[in-house]
Chain A
Amino acid sequence: MKRLKLFIPLIIFVLLAILFTLGLGIDPHKMPSALVGRPVPNFSLSTVQDTTRIVDQEQLKGHGFALINIWATWCGPCRQEHPFLVKLANNGFPIFGVNAKDELELAQQWLKERGDPYKFSAFDPEGRLGLDLGVYGYPETFLINSEGQVLHRFAGVLTEKVWQRDFIPLINP
Chain B
Amino acid sequence: MKAIFQAVLIVVVFVGSQSGLAKEVYDFSNEAERERFHRFTYELRCPKCQSQNLAGSDSQISQDLKRELHRLIIDGKTDDEILDFMVTRYGDFVLYRPQFQSNTLLLWLGPLALILIGLGVFGWILFRKMSAQSTEE
A interface residue numbers (CB < 8 A to B): 28-29, 31-35, 127, 131-134, 136-137
In-complex Cβ contact of A136 among B48, B68, B87, B88 (8 A): B48
Q: Is the CB of B61 within 8 A of A137?
A: yes
Give the interface size bracket for B toward A. Answer: 10 to 19
Number of residue pairs spanning A and B whose beta carbons lie under 8 angstroms apart: 31
Q: Determine the main DSSP class of A at the interface with B.
A: loop
In-complex Cβ contact of A31 among B65, B68, B87, B91 (8 A): B91
B interface residue numbers (CB < 8 A to A): 47-48, 50, 61, 64-65, 68, 87-91, 93
In-complex Cβ contact of B89 among A28, A134, A137 (8 A): A134
Q: Is the CB of A131 within 8 A of B91?
A: no
User: Which B residues touch A132, using CB under 8 A?
Assistant: 89
Q: Is the CB of A134 within 8 A of B90?
A: yes
**16 additional contacts, CB 8 Å, given A34-B87, A131-B64, A134-B90?**
A29-B50, A31-B93, A32-B91, A33-B91, A34-B88, A34-B89, A127-B64, A131-B65, A131-B68, A132-B89, A134-B47, A136-B47, A136-B48, A136-B90, A137-B48, A137-B61
Closest to A31 in B: B93
Whole-angstrom CA separation of A150 from B68 in the bound complex: 23
User: Which B residues touch A34, using CB under 8 A?
Assistant: 87-91
User: Which B residues touch A127, using CB under 8 A?
Assistant: 64
Q: Is the CB of B61 within 8 A of A133?
A: no
Q: Which of A34, A132, A133 is most buried by chain B, counting CB atoms within 10 A of its CB?
A: A34
User: Which B residues touch A137, using CB under 8 A?
Assistant: 48, 61
Q: Is the CB of A31 within 8 A of B47?
A: yes
Closest to A29 in B: B50
Q: Is the CB of A133 within 8 A of B89?
A: yes
Whole-angstrom CA separation of A108 from B60 in the bound complex: 23
Whole-angstrom CA separation of A32 from B47 in the bound complex: 11
User: Which B residues touch A134, using CB under 8 A?
Assistant: 47, 89-91
Whole-angstrom CA separation of A87 from B108 in the bound complex: 48
Q: Which of B48, B50, B90 is most buried by chain A, counting CB atoms within 10 A of its CB?
A: B90
